[in-house]
Structure 1
Amino acid sequence: MLKFDKIEARNTVVLHVYQQLKRSILRGELPTGYRVVEVNIAEAFGVSRTPVREAISRLIAQGFIREQGSAKIVADISVSMSEIMGIRGVLESYAARLAAENATEEDLQVITEYCNSSILVDRSSSIENRASLNDAFHEAVARASHNERLIKMISDFYEYAITEEMLVYYSKADTTNHAGQHRAVLKALQDRDPDAADAAMRAHINCIGQVIEKAIAQMKSK
């Protein structure tokens, strides 16, 4: 029987349904191939079918759930995440290239601050702190591109970098490596070197993808 936390705040219903469904998929509680039935999900949450339908639509768009004829089933998240990280690699490396060309001194100062903070953070820091610092660094680089459409596209993928479920599988070495990679991106931006910025960000995203792949494998094995 499905069991989820009941939701009370009306304006956050869709978000909560989405987040809990995604969390259950990432944890393997809703395994690959599981048939997602709106009425069952709505009953488990204690909400109407409308917010459930919206949440499922979002998960379909993001590749966590796929349509198979008239049915909706949980997708293989290892495949979905591989595709997502490939897209992130293209988008964010291009953003870094543009940032090397277009960033203002104020932009670089903001990126520097987030980079320094990510270097100081360690594995004992809270999940929320580590995740928010990572997102803030990537968002700052994207904004420094000064390409509004690109910024919007990238923002849709931030949540796939570090999630509460995955972060517990990040080793101290992973955290240290990612901080060093942030530093490499920053140096390329400060040097106004588009090629180096592109390469540094692409290498960083590839490394994130490898850690996420490892985390998914560990979650599935539990």
Structure 2
Amino acid sequence: MNNTTDTIDTQAGDAALLLPPNDAAPERVADQLYRKLRRAIIEGQLPARSRLIEVELAQALNASRTPVREAISRLTSDQLVRPLKHGGVEVVDTSSELDEIYMIREALEGCAARLAAERITDEELKVLDGLIDETHASMHDIDARVQINQRFHEAITRAARSERLARMVESFQEFFLNEKMLASYSPRESQTAIAQHSEIVAALRAHDSARAEKLVRKHLEQDRKRALKEKAKAALR
């Protein structure tokens, strides 16, 4: 698979994307295809400007065209692909929107923290405390820390008790912290991130809405600056 307007190799396919035979209902297959393709685009397995054609994707992914068509439609709504004049779709270059995407996340999750401070329960606070403890215990396991970090932020969003907001946050979530980014953290930066999580939980426990929002936005702003720095480094290679 090339980095420009090439189609997926329908003979070999992509080992990371191939699906096994699946007898589930079409809706379930469509969801599975959507998640795999979305992740492949966000993580760069399907580079910007790659051309995707429905029939070729169906062959490469061992699926029928109906769920592939639905998955492509959802990716179009997500603005991860765009239709081409002569058929098929093209993967959008989201790297040019990275700063904007991070700023949207700061606003959304800051809002979630403000609402969570008003609505969070003692049991939910215990869950957040436990996740911080898990992070300390997993300092040398990057995969585990990525998962724990995601669970931490998801727990705050759930505590906001807003389904609409939760859906909006989820639509941006996959763009953020991953194994590659976390591996670039120095030990000091990792400890700082954990300390910030602890400060956020303290603000939630005090039901201090303004402080909870401020701390979450500050925490995520640092992630945005790091992501842009890594992007600039990659451009120089």
Give me the TM-score of the superposition, normalised by structure 2: 0.76
Larger radius of gyration: 2
Indicate if the aligned counterparts of 1:107 and 1:140 stay in contact, CA closer than 8 A: yes
Q: Structure 1 stretch 184-193 or stretch 133-142: which is displaced more?
A: 184-193
Residues 161 and 30 (structure 1), Cα distance of their counterparts in 2 relative to 1, 3 Å cut: closer
Bigger relative contact order, structure 1 or 2, given CA contacts below 8 A and separation 6+? 1
Indicate if the aligned counterparts of 2:49 and 2:90 stay in contact, CA closer than 8 A: yes
Indicate if the aligned counterparts of 2:113 and 2:160 stay in contact, CA closer than 8 A: yes
> Which of 151, 154, 162 matches 1:136?
151
Determine what percentage of the aligned residue pairs are the same residue. Answer: 32
- Name the counterpart of 1:109: 126
Whole-Å separation in 2 of the counterparts to 1:85 and 1:17: 26
The alignment status of 1:37 with 2:32, answered yes or no, reads no
Q: After TM superposition, give the deviation of residue 133 of structure 1 in Å.
A: 0.8
Give me the TM-score of the superposition, normalised by structure 1: 0.80
Indicate if the aligned counterparts of 1:7 and 1:13 stay in contact, CA closer than 8 A: no
Q: After TM superposition, give the deviation of residue 213 of structure 1 in Å.
A: 3.7
Residues 52 and 220 (structure 1), Cα distance of their counterparts in 2 relative to 1, 3 Å cut: farther
Whole-Å separation in 2 of the counterparts to 1:120 and 1:184: 19
Residues 100-149 of structure 1, C-alpha deviations (whole Å, 9 max, x = no match): 22222222222221123224322x3151x222211211111112223333
Residues 74-110 of structure 1, C-alpha deviations (whole Å, 9 max, x = no match): 1112134433322221111011111222222222222
- Name the counterpart of 2:190: 175
Q: After TM superposition, give the deviation of residue 61 of structure 1 in Å.
A: 2.8
Whole-Å separation in 2 of the counterparts to 1:217 and 1:16: 33
Higher share of residues assigned helix? 1
Residues 211 and 65 (structure 1), Cα distance of their counterparts in 2 relative to 1, 3 Å cut: farther
Indicate if the aligned counterparts of 1:39 and 1:49 stay in contact, CA closer than 8 A: yes
The 5-angstrom pairing of residues 21-100 of structure 1 reads 21-69=37-85, 71-100=88-117
The alignment status of 1:186 with 2:201, answered yes or no, reads yes
Residues 15 and 95 (structure 1), Cα distance of their counterparts in 2 relative to 1, 3 Å cut: same
The alignment status of 1:8 with 2:20, answered yes or no, reads yes
- Mark the runs of 5 or more structure 2 residues left unpaired by the alignment: 1-7
Q: After TM superposition, give the deviation of residue 154 of structure 1 in Å.
A: 2.3
For 1:4, give the aligned amino acid.
D
Q: After TM superposition, give the deviation of residue 50 of structure 1 in Å.
A: 2.0
Residues 24 and 160 (structure 1), Cα distance of their counterparts in 2 relative to 1, 3 Å cut: closer
Indicate if the aligned counterparts of 1:188 and 1:197 stay in contact, CA closer than 8 A: yes
